[in-house]
């Protein structure tokens, strides 16, 4: 029996897009994760331009998911588990506005869902420092160069992948073990 899919997209940034992409590739219901850029003033920026910090764009991923299998709330729970939403324009050694914690909402439903989880995390005092995740209206998504797509999968033996991305994946797998894609 074939079931109808209910595909939706969300654009989020939690530091280096290689890390965020690698995590969401393993979440049940996620159909695709594309690394790219959003926000800023430059049309179709390159990685080098965004890395300069002068474009205003953030490294982000565009997640397409089947809302019959996962939902925005789960997407956001993963997001707030695998990155530090309390460091302004910084994730680990990556520093600059291009690494900001950001959710680019496409409609009021996405904005409300994001604000609701942020409020719940604040109320529960999950973090010692204030959450600095920015909610920005979505305008454009620009796909990053091809070598940035599936970066972790294609470069697992690189030191960055082993030291930075793998711990995030392990944390995700531990917390969301019942929601992992079957391989």
Distance CA 151, CA 36 (A): 12
Specify the 3-state DSSP secondary structure of 59.
strand
Strands 58-66 and 94-95: unpaired
The active-site residue, picked from 11, 16, 20, 57, is: 16
Q: What is the largest CA-CA distance in the chain?
A: 51
**Closest by Cα among 63, 85, 62, 78 to 15:** 85
Q: In the numeric block, which tokens belong to residue 105?
A: 């909402």
Q: Are 151 and 21 in contact (CB under 8 A)?
A: yes
Q: Could you tell me how many residues make up the chain?
A: 183
Distance CA 134, CA 114 (A): 10
Distance CA 67, CA 70 (A): 5
**16 included as an active-site residue:** yes
Specify the 3-state DSSP secondary structure of 167.
helix
Which residues does the annotation mark as catalytic? 16
């Amino acid at each position: 029996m074939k079931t109808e899919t209910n595909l939706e997209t969300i654009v989020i940034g939690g530091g280096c897009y290689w890390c965020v992409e690698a995590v969401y590739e393993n979440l049940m219901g996620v159909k695709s994760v594309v690394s790219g850029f959003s926000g800023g003033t430059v049309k179709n920026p390159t990685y080098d331009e965004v890395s300069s910090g002068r474009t205003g764009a953030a490294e982000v991923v565009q997640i397409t998911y089947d809302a019959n299998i996962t939902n925005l709330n789960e997407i956001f729970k993963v997001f707030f588990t695998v990155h530090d939403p309390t460091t302004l324009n910084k994730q680990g050694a990556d520093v600059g506005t291009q690494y900001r914690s950001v959710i680019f909402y496409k409609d009021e439903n996405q904005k409300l869902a994001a604000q609701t989880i942020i409020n719940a995390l604040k109320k529960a005092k999950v973090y010692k420092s204030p959450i600095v995740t920015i909610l920005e209206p979505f305008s454009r998504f620009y796909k990053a160069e091809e070598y940035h797509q599936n970066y972790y999968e294609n470069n697992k033996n690189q030191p960055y992948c082993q030291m930075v991305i793998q711990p995030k994946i392990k944390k995700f797998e531990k917390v969301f073990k019942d929601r992992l894609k079957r391989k």
